[in-house]
Structure 1
Amino acid sequence: MSIPKVSVEQVKAARALLRWSQGDLANRSGVSLPTIKRLEAATGEIGGRVDTANSIRAALESAGVQFIEENGGGPGVRLRNRLDPSVN
Protein backbone atom coordinates (compact mmCIF):
# COMPACT_ATOMS: atom_id res chain seq x y z
CA MET A 1 0.00 0.00 0.00
CA SER A 2 1.49 3.34 -0.97
CA ILE A 3 1.39 6.35 1.31
CA PRO A 4 -0.49 9.31 -0.21
CA LYS A 5 1.89 12.09 -1.18
CA VAL A 6 1.93 15.41 0.63
CA SER A 7 2.81 18.82 -0.68
CA VAL A 8 5.57 21.17 0.35
CA GLU A 9 2.87 23.59 1.44
CA GLN A 10 1.38 20.95 3.75
CA VAL A 11 4.81 20.29 5.27
CA LYS A 12 5.34 24.00 5.91
CA ALA A 13 1.87 24.31 7.44
CA ALA A 14 2.51 21.27 9.63
CA ARG A 15 5.79 22.74 10.85
CA ALA A 16 3.99 25.99 11.67
CA LEU A 17 1.31 24.15 13.70
CA LEU A 18 4.04 22.38 15.66
CA ARG A 19 6.19 25.53 15.90
CA TRP A 20 9.10 23.57 14.44
CA SER A 21 11.98 25.10 12.54
CA GLN A 22 13.45 23.42 9.50
CA GLY A 23 16.21 22.22 11.86
CA ASP A 24 13.65 20.63 14.17
CA LEU A 25 12.14 18.74 11.25
CA ALA A 26 15.60 17.65 10.10
CA ASN A 27 16.48 16.34 13.55
CA ARG A 28 13.21 14.50 14.05
CA SER A 29 13.00 13.03 10.55
CA GLY A 30 16.65 12.06 10.08
CA VAL A 31 16.71 14.08 6.84
CA SER A 32 19.57 16.56 6.49
CA LEU A 33 18.86 20.27 6.96
CA PRO A 34 20.14 21.15 3.46
CA THR A 35 17.70 18.60 2.01
CA ILE A 36 14.78 20.02 4.01
CA LYS A 37 15.69 23.53 2.80
CA ARG A 38 15.97 22.38 -0.82
CA LEU A 39 12.65 20.52 -0.72
CA GLU A 40 10.83 23.43 0.94
CA ALA A 41 12.15 25.86 -1.68
CA ALA A 42 9.97 24.12 -4.26
CA THR A 43 6.19 23.94 -4.58
CA GLY A 44 3.82 21.05 -5.17
CA GLU A 45 4.38 17.48 -4.03
CA ILE A 46 7.53 16.75 -2.06
CA GLY A 47 10.18 15.84 -4.58
CA GLY A 48 13.26 13.72 -4.16
CA ARG A 49 13.46 10.19 -2.89
CA VAL A 50 10.35 8.40 -1.65
CA ASP A 51 12.18 7.39 1.56
CA THR A 52 12.93 11.05 2.29
CA ALA A 53 9.30 12.12 1.84
CA ASN A 54 8.13 9.18 3.98
CA SER A 55 10.59 10.11 6.77
CA ILE A 56 9.38 13.70 6.78
CA ARG A 57 5.74 12.66 6.82
CA ALA A 58 6.32 10.08 9.57
CA ALA A 59 8.08 12.61 11.80
CA LEU A 60 5.24 15.10 11.45
CA GLU A 61 2.55 12.46 11.98
CA SER A 62 4.28 11.10 15.08
CA ALA A 63 4.18 14.64 16.49
CA GLY A 64 0.40 14.75 16.03
CA VAL A 65 -0.11 16.13 12.52
CA GLN A 66 -2.86 14.71 10.33
CA PHE A 67 -2.59 15.25 6.59
CA ILE A 68 -5.89 15.96 4.89
CA GLU A 69 -6.09 14.79 1.31
CA GLU A 70 -7.70 16.71 -1.51
CA ASN A 71 -11.44 16.44 -0.90
CA GLY A 72 -12.93 19.23 -2.93
CA GLY A 73 -11.85 21.85 -0.41
CA GLY A 74 -8.14 21.37 -1.00
CA PRO A 75 -5.46 19.45 0.89
CA GLY A 76 -4.45 20.59 4.35
CA VAL A 77 -3.17 19.65 7.79
CA ARG A 78 -4.48 19.67 11.33
CA LEU A 79 -3.39 18.45 14.75
CA ARG A 80 -4.92 15.33 16.22
CA ASN A 81 -7.14 15.80 19.23
CA ARG A 82 -4.78 15.78 22.22
CA LEU A 83 -7.48 14.05 24.28
CA ASP A 84 -7.25 11.03 21.96
CA PRO A 85 -5.46 8.29 23.94
CA SER A 86 -3.74 7.08 20.76
CA VAL A 87 -1.75 10.35 20.58
CA ASN A 88 1.74 10.07 22.07
Structure 2
Amino acid sequence: MTSVARTMKALWSAWWQRWPRWVAWATMLWAVTYASFGLACALSGTRWSAGAVEDVAAALEVLAGALAQLDPECGDPLRRADRRGRRRRAR
Protein backbone atom coordinates (compact mmCIF):
# COMPACT_ATOMS: atom_id res chain seq x y z
CA MET A 1 0.00 0.00 0.00
CA THR A 2 1.43 3.36 -0.96
CA SER A 3 1.69 6.25 1.44
CA VAL A 4 -1.05 8.11 -0.45
CA ALA A 5 -3.39 5.14 -0.08
CA ARG A 6 -2.62 4.88 3.65
CA THR A 7 -3.25 8.59 4.08
CA MET A 8 -6.56 8.38 2.23
CA LYS A 9 -7.60 5.34 4.27
CA ALA A 10 -6.76 7.16 7.51
CA LEU A 11 -8.68 10.26 6.43
CA TRP A 12 -11.70 8.16 5.43
CA SER A 13 -11.65 6.32 8.77
CA ALA A 14 -11.35 9.55 10.74
CA TRP A 15 -14.19 11.09 8.73
CA TRP A 16 -16.53 8.22 9.58
CA GLN A 17 -15.52 8.23 13.23
CA ARG A 18 -16.54 11.88 13.46
CA TRP A 19 -19.97 11.33 11.87
CA PRO A 20 -21.90 12.77 14.86
CA ARG A 21 -20.27 16.12 14.16
CA TRP A 22 -21.17 16.37 10.47
CA VAL A 23 -24.43 14.43 10.21
CA ALA A 24 -26.52 17.37 11.44
CA TRP A 25 -25.04 19.63 8.76
CA ALA A 26 -25.62 17.01 6.07
CA THR A 27 -29.23 16.62 7.20
CA MET A 28 -29.74 20.37 7.17
CA LEU A 29 -28.27 20.62 3.65
CA TRP A 30 -30.60 17.84 2.46
CA ALA A 31 -33.62 19.52 4.06
CA VAL A 32 -32.84 22.91 2.53
CA THR A 33 -32.32 21.33 -0.89
CA TYR A 34 -35.55 19.37 -0.61
CA ALA A 35 -37.47 22.44 0.54
CA SER A 36 -36.08 24.54 -2.30
CA PHE A 37 -37.20 21.95 -4.85
CA GLY A 38 -40.62 21.85 -3.22
CA LEU A 39 -40.86 25.62 -3.26
CA ALA A 40 -39.78 25.78 -6.90
CA CYS A 41 -42.40 23.18 -7.78
CA ALA A 42 -45.09 25.07 -5.86
CA LEU A 43 -44.22 28.41 -7.45
CA SER A 44 -43.94 27.06 -10.98
CA GLY A 45 -47.32 25.38 -10.82
CA THR A 46 -46.05 21.98 -11.92
CA ARG A 47 -47.37 18.99 -10.08
CA TRP A 48 -46.37 15.40 -9.64
CA SER A 49 -48.00 13.22 -12.21
CA ALA A 50 -50.17 10.35 -11.05
CA GLY A 51 -47.67 7.93 -12.54
CA ALA A 52 -44.83 9.37 -10.47
CA VAL A 53 -46.87 9.06 -7.28
CA GLU A 54 -47.69 5.44 -8.13
CA ASP A 55 -44.02 4.71 -8.81
CA VAL A 56 -43.01 6.11 -5.43
CA ALA A 57 -45.76 4.14 -3.69
CA ALA A 58 -44.65 0.92 -5.42
CA ALA A 59 -41.02 1.54 -4.42
CA LEU A 60 -42.04 2.10 -0.80
CA GLU A 61 -44.05 -1.12 -0.81
CA VAL A 62 -41.03 -3.06 -2.08
CA LEU A 63 -38.82 -1.45 0.57
CA ALA A 64 -41.32 -2.22 3.34
CA GLY A 65 -41.54 -5.83 2.21
CA ALA A 66 -37.76 -6.20 2.18
CA LEU A 67 -37.43 -4.64 5.63
CA ALA A 68 -40.14 -6.91 7.02
CA GLN A 69 -38.16 -9.97 5.93
CA LEU A 70 -34.96 -8.91 7.72
CA ASP A 71 -33.87 -10.89 10.73
CA PRO A 72 -33.82 -8.74 13.90
CA GLU A 73 -30.21 -9.80 14.47
CA CYS A 74 -29.21 -7.74 11.42
CA GLY A 75 -29.27 -4.68 13.65
CA ASP A 76 -26.72 -6.09 16.10
CA PRO A 77 -23.69 -4.33 14.54
CA LEU A 78 -25.53 -1.02 14.79
CA ARG A 79 -26.40 -1.62 18.43
CA ARG A 80 -22.80 -2.55 19.25
CA ALA A 81 -21.49 0.56 17.49
CA ASP A 82 -23.99 2.69 19.41
CA ARG A 83 -22.85 1.23 22.73
CA ARG A 84 -19.19 1.88 21.87
CA GLY A 85 -20.03 5.47 20.96
CA ARG A 86 -21.87 6.00 24.23
CA ARG A 87 -18.93 4.65 26.23
CA ARG A 88 -16.53 7.01 24.42
CA ARG A 89 -18.73 10.02 25.09
CA ALA A 90 -19.12 9.09 28.76
CA ARG A 91 -15.35 9.27 29.36
Same fold (TM over 0.5): no
Higher RCO (CA 8 Å, separation ≥ 6 residues) = 1
Instruction: Provide TM-score, normalisation by structure 2.
Output: 0.22
Greater helix share, structure number: 2
Greater strand share, structure number: 1
The structure having more radius of gyration, on CA atoms, is 2
Instruction: Provide TM-score, normalisation by structure 1.
Output: 0.23
